[in-house]
Chains A and B, each alone.
Chain A
């Protein structure tokens, strides 16, 4: 490890002293220049959204504000193909193109490239993400596997949250929001330009509310809690030279909420901390980025069956170089080192540590064949070394030597973009992504009374392959019309689960088979005059499972994707803006599903409609008063076997300064 850091440092010092040219990407300036959002998420190379070789949607700061949402999942709900389920007032799971479930492990969520999904179990607790909606420049939603560029977990897609740049953007604001369920939230964002070369942005927030209580639908009341959340973030950028920048990001959050874990409600506490240092250099050797960050998680749970806690520490060191070889060819080389370790009580044996190290290397090649045709290929190899130190519980059927195991897997992305005309763009792509087992998937080791729960050290990664054809067309029968369509076929091999058994151990991790899904999604966006805009999106998805969810003929696992993936989802957005006024609404529909309950029977959930809406007015002094509602159409609606989702209304007052 020290050797790697030393090598990295030497390389950076060496490159710093070489001849250099120009500055790193300024998203705001690029967006203004090209008239559309710009991203580096698809290939690592800066690209306009219309040029990327993957199916991607970008939500801008305007989209975020106009959604009226008080949290990220409700912002993401407006994206066609994104599925959002809500387990409690504050607990959400988000997936792209189905396969959603509590503690969903298929999505890679990043803030400025730093992973914010929680690595002990590979899921995202959205309320722990320590950035305010007001400091987000854009949210990039990449659909389909993207492991070759981002690393594992990017199997159903990537959500990259890009905050405003503290050096370029002034986004100071403060606000309060109150609402039903006794919701209270205050936020503060301050941009500070300390000099021409140093910019800092700090933000903080605190929110509380009551738990949903209209209908618990069998959820144990003991597992519900009034949620709380507080977060703090510091983001500082230093322009070292005209060609190089250093960025420091420090953040933390404290969260208490109800999560659904293995079909039962748990009261969960999260305490997260992170520190990231990154460096960018525009050199004769290309656009070089180096970053190192460490995430800390202190996680605890309590439920009717017991309690436990764990500490998870992750260190990630990344180095990449994007080089434009000539007018037609751009390549990107990347290397990554990762340490991930869990210790705890009631989760693993007291004093024991389960950990792995990952060494990864990858490359991307973008070939602009001509003005109309480009081809992008990326490949990455991950080598994971698993380890276990300390004792195992007496009930664990595995020994420490079983954890002495390594995995080497490759992933790829390949996509052709054909701009057939000024109005038509086609994308043909394929990808192979990795969903590596979480540390608890490998090494969970808990005994609670008669219940034993163990991981499985020889668990295999789930492999997701995707084939996709997409078409974007600017249409002239509606004003500013953009039609987007995609057909896709996706196969997941070696689906992982935590399954129960009537015999010992009571719960254990295992691979249980494959699942295949295919679908079509289409959307049409347009405007009417200068003041109205609208969008309509639809996705049809059919899933076929080949999963063994039984042990000795008894249903033992909750993985029934063909039952819980909604086949039809529809979204309609309407927007109006005129001077100081903004009014927006999102209506969404998901067809009926069947969900597994705590006793592994199935519960029908009827198709449901939801409506989110916001009306806002901005006064001359940059004070905005807004009224918004989530699930506005109904006092409560059943969307999962968890508590009904209640109507929520909010009034917010904020000021930019």
Chain B
């Protein structure tokens, strides 16, 4: 009985945890639109690298989740699809999505994005600055966060009108 209760509580916590972190199509539409405002940034179909830490279950699950959401392409002017990678060296895209739980890859991901002439993005606020240039949050309202330091490292600049509407950290 006690075990049952514990499992029940755990499963509830897990469900809540999953639900709190669950990405949506709107997250990636927001990322795609934001990428479209990058000066000299990619346009049209963009296969985004989904970088995850294979040794971290949460990171792996997040990568699966993201790959599923963008499988059919998300966005209009910039249309994102995904390609899961576990190594920064495998990243070739101008857009690298960094999953949750991939903290060990932050520095390398940012450096690689800069080398690719692109940027790192995420839905995980923990990534902002150390690993990611841009992080989006769409609930309860849309907020777009940009790390000025990370943007400087990747030479990412946004259109002025858009830049005035995002939160810079």
Nearest CB of A to B166, in Å: 10
B165 touches A30 (CB 8 A): yes
Nearest CB of A to B165, in Å: 5
Query: Restricting to B136-169, which residues have a CB under 8 Å from any CB of A?
Result: 140-142, 148, 157-165, 167-169
User: Which residues on the B side are within 8 Å of A509 (C-beta)?
Assistant: none
Nearest CB of B to A197, in Å: 15
Interface size class of A (residues with CB under 8 A): 20 to 34
Quick one: CB contact mask for B95-131 with A, threshold 8 Å, 1 for yes?
0000000000000000000000000000000000000
Given contacts A327-B168, A371-B167, contact A21 B160 (CB under 8 A): yes
Q: Which of B30, B141, B142, B160 is A324 in contact with, Cβ under 8 Å?
A: B160
Q: Which of B148, B162, B168 is A22 in contact with, Cβ under 8 Å?
A: B162
Closest chain A residue to B145, Cβ basis: A371
User: Which residues on the B side are within 8 Å of A138 (C-beta)?
Assistant: none
Bound Cα distance A607, B148 (Å): 57
Q: Which of A32, A46, A371 is B164 in contact with, Cβ under 8 Å?
A: A46
Q: Which of B39, B140, B157 has the most C-beta atoms of chain A within 10 angstroms of its own C-beta?
A: B39
Does B33 make an interface contact (CB < 8 A)?
A: yes
B140 touches A422 (CB 8 A): yes
Q: Which of B33, B37, B142, B160 is A322 in contact with, Cβ under 8 Å?
A: B160
B37 touches A22 (CB 8 A): yes
Q: Which of A22, A30, A322, A324 is B39 in contact with, Cβ under 8 Å?
A: A22
Closest chain B residue to A280, Cβ basis: B161
Quick one: CB contact mask for B34-62 with A, threshold 8 Å, 1 for yes?
10010100000000000000000000000
B159 touches A22 (CB 8 A): yes
B140 touches A25 (CB 8 A): no
A324 touches B163 (CB 8 A): yes
A35 touches B142 (CB 8 A): yes
Nearest CB of A to B156, in Å: 11
Given contacts A33-B30, A422-B140, contact A23 B168 (CB under 8 A): no
Bound Cα distance A324, B158 (Å): 12
Given contacts A22-B39, A35-B142, contact A48 B161 (CB under 8 A): no
Given contacts A22-B39, A327-B168, A371-B167, contact A33 B161 (CB under 8 A): no
Query: Restricting to A12-60, which residues have a CB under 8 Å from any CB of B?
Result: 21-25, 29-30, 32-36, 38, 45-48, 50
Quick one: CB contact mask for A320-333 with B, threshold 8 Å, 1 for yes?
00101001001000
A282 touches B160 (CB 8 A): yes
Does A287 make an interface contact (CB < 8 A)?
A: yes
Does A286 make an interface contact (CB < 8 A)?
A: yes
Nearest CB of A to B96, in Å: 21
Q: Which of A23, A45, A322 is B159 in contact with, Cβ under 8 Å?
A: A23
User: Which residues on the B side are within 8 Å of A66 (C-beta)?
Assistant: none
B30 touches A21 (CB 8 A): no
User: Which residues on the B side are within 8 Å of A48 (C-beta)?
Assistant: 165
Does A143 make an interface contact (CB < 8 A)?
A: no
A38 touches B165 (CB 8 A): yes
Bound Cα distance A43, B57 (Å): 47
A25 touches B33 (CB 8 A): no
B148 touches A282 (CB 8 A): no
B157 touches A21 (CB 8 A): yes
Interface SS of A by simple majority: mixed
Given contacts A21-B39, A35-B141, contact A287 B161 (CB under 8 A): yes
User: Which residues on the A side are within 8 Å of B163 (C-beta)?
Assistant: 22, 324
User: Which residues on the B side are within 8 Å of A47 (C-beta)?
Assistant: 164-165
Closest chain A residue to B33, Cβ basis: A33
B165 touches A34 (CB 8 A): yes
User: Which residues on the B side are within 8 Å of A32 (C-beta)?
Assistant: 33
A287 touches B160 (CB 8 A): yes
A330 touches B159 (CB 8 A): no
A34 touches B167 (CB 8 A): no
Bound Cα distance A21, B30 (Å): 21
Nearest CB of A to B77, in Å: 8
B159 touches A282 (CB 8 A): yes
Bound Cα distance A34, B139 (Å): 11
User: Which residues on the A side are within 8 Å of B39 (C-beta)?
Assistant: 21-22
User: Which residues on the A side are within 8 Å of B33 (C-beta)?
Assistant: 29, 32-33
A286 touches B165 (CB 8 A): no
Does A474 make an interface contact (CB < 8 A)?
A: yes
Nearest CB of A to B136, in Å: 10
Nearest CB of A to B36, in Å: 8
User: Which residues on the B side are within 8 Å of A22 (C-beta)?
Assistant: 37, 39, 157-163
User: Which residues on the A side are within 8 Å of B167 (C-beta)?
Assistant: 371
B161 touches A46 (CB 8 A): yes
Query: Restricting to A269-301, which residues have a CB under 8 Å from any CB of B?
Result: 282, 286-287
Nearest CB of A to B169, in Å: 8
Quick one: CB contact mask for A82-117 with B, threshold 8 Å, 1 for yes?
000000000000000000000000000000000000
User: Which residues on the A side are within 8 Å of B157 (C-beta)?
Assistant: 21-22
Nearest CB of B to A402, in Å: 47
Bound Cα distance A32, B142 (Å): 10
Nearest CB of A to B162, in Å: 7
Closest chain A residue to B141, Cβ basis: A35
User: Which residues on the B side are within 8 Å of A422 (C-beta)?
Assistant: 140-141
Nearest CB of A to B20, in Å: 14
Write the residues of chain B forming the contact surface with A, with a CB cutoff of 8 angstroms.
Answer: 30, 33-34, 37, 39, 140-142, 148, 157-165, 167-169
What are 25 A-B contacts defined by CB distance under 8 Å? A22-B159, A22-B161, A23-B37, A23-B159, A24-B159, A24-B161, A30-B161, A33-B30, A33-B34, A33-B142, A35-B141, A47-B165, A48-B165, A50-B141, A282-B159, A282-B161, A322-B164, A324-B160, A324-B163, A324-B164, A327-B168, A327-B169, A330-B164, A422-B140, A422-B141
> What are the 10 A-B residue pairs with the smallest beta carbon separation, nearest first?
A22-B159, A327-B168, A21-B39, A25-B161, A287-B160, A33-B33, A46-B161, A282-B160, A22-B39, A34-B142
15 new A-B contacts at CB < 8 Å, known A22-B158, A22-B162, A30-B161 = A21-B160, A22-B163, A23-B159, A29-B33, A34-B141, A34-B142, A36-B141, A46-B162, A46-B165, A50-B141, A287-B161, A322-B160, A324-B164, A327-B168, A327-B169
